[in-house]
Amino acid sequence: MSLNAIRALVPVDGSRASLDAVGYAAGLFSPDQTHIVLYYVINNIPETLYDLGAGTAYREALRNLTGWEMRLREASEQFMEEARDLLRMAGFPDSAVTVTVQGLRSGVARDILAESHKSYHAVVCGRTGVNPFEEFVLGGVAKKLLDRMTHIPLCLVGARGNYGHVLLALDGSDGSFGAVDFVAETLTRATRVELFHALRGFRMFVCDSDGGVTSDHEQEWLDRYEMEDVFERARERLMAAGAVSISSKLVKGVVSRAGAIVGEAREGRFGTVVLGRRGHSAVADFSIGRVADKVVQMAQDRAVWIVS
């Protein structure tokens, strides 16, 4: 393995969603250039017991937990072996995989965040955990990671799909070019990349000579708007990294940029969507931009990378 190997953190919890995250990492990262850490945080006390408070009922329930931790660890070991098998089938040698199982310290999300600061390049996790609710598009841990993991790229993985086809959303900002560099340097197994930009309509209505309103100025501006320079810069970076199948697409006058991105991902059968955490209108008070946040919420059936 290269001395410049990518270190990817894959938090797991025994759920199907976390196994999908392992499968995603196995399919998109290079076995020769990546070291994957499977990270399992075990809570030795069932969360439901916290509802009892700290009184007599809680203490009585604790006394009846004989063997709980042992069974939990046995289940985690079985899951980890299944996850290892996925990585082995994708070409990862055992030396490129580390398994870490630890007891809960500060909370599952906090423990993952603390681990992510230990020289990792990316984090890949499932959208939901062992207790998914259909009405929630993100599990509690995934939502906390999305809000707080601003130092490295984070991928939230939906159901398994055509992950090798990557839709790379661009707006010309520094954040979007950070996403370009991430794809070029990290997602080396991508088989197809589309550079995509969606421009909203401005609805710039003006009065004409008869007192009516017209949107001609808006249409004229949309007709002149181009992204070819941005696309070309991105294309050069990807080609220099070895990408071969690169296309680009500009759509104009959309109502929702996030909606256009997700629509293109579904229509073009892109299993992976990559975009910067924040675009041109970055606001320091918020950890994630509006477009990125909406794409995460809408693209439940895709893997979405948020690149800081």
Over the stretch 185-195, which tens digit does the pLDDT of each residue have? Answer: 999 889 999 99
Amino acid 53: pLDDT: 59
Question: How far is residue 296's CA from residue 300's CA, in Å, rounded to a whole number?
Answer: 7
Same fold, 1-159 and 161-308: yes
Over the stretch 199-243, which tens digit does the pLDDT of each residue have? Answer: 887 654 455 555 554 555 555 555 555 788 999 999 999 999 988
Cα distances from 183 to residues 24, 142, 180, 192, in angstroms, run: 15, 22, 5, 11
Amino acid 33: pLDDT: 93
Enumerate the domain spans of the chain: 1-159, 161-308
pTM tops 0.75 = yes
Amino acid 266: pLDDT: 94
CB 27 within 8 A of CB 189: yes
CB 49 within 8 A of CB 58: yes
Instruction: Classify the phi-psi angles of 196: left when phi > 0, otherwise alpha if psi is within -120 to 50, otherwise beta.
Output: beta
Amino acid 74: pLDDT: 85
Amino acid 262: pLDDT: 96
Question: How far is residue 62's CA from residue 64's CA, in Å, rounded to a whole number?
Answer: 5
> What is the CATH class of 1-159?
alpha beta
The side-by-side arrangement of strands in the sheet containing 165-169 is 97-103, 34-42, 6-12, 122-126, 154-157, 303-307, 272-276, 165-169, 192-200, 246-254
Amino acid 125: pLDDT: 95
Amino acid 21: pLDDT: 95
Amino acid 98: pLDDT: 97
Low-confidence ranges of the chain (pLDDT < 50): 132-136, 204-205, 213, 283-285
CATH architecture, domain defined by 161-308? 3-Layer(aba) Sandwich (3.40)
Token pair of 218, please? 């808006």
Amino acid 136: pLDDT: 46
Amino acid 146: pLDDT: 94
Chain centroid offset of residue 63 CA? 40
DSSP 151: S
Cα distances from 301 to residues 29, 163, 231, 296, in angstroms, run: 20, 11, 26, 10
Amino acid 133: pLDDT: 47
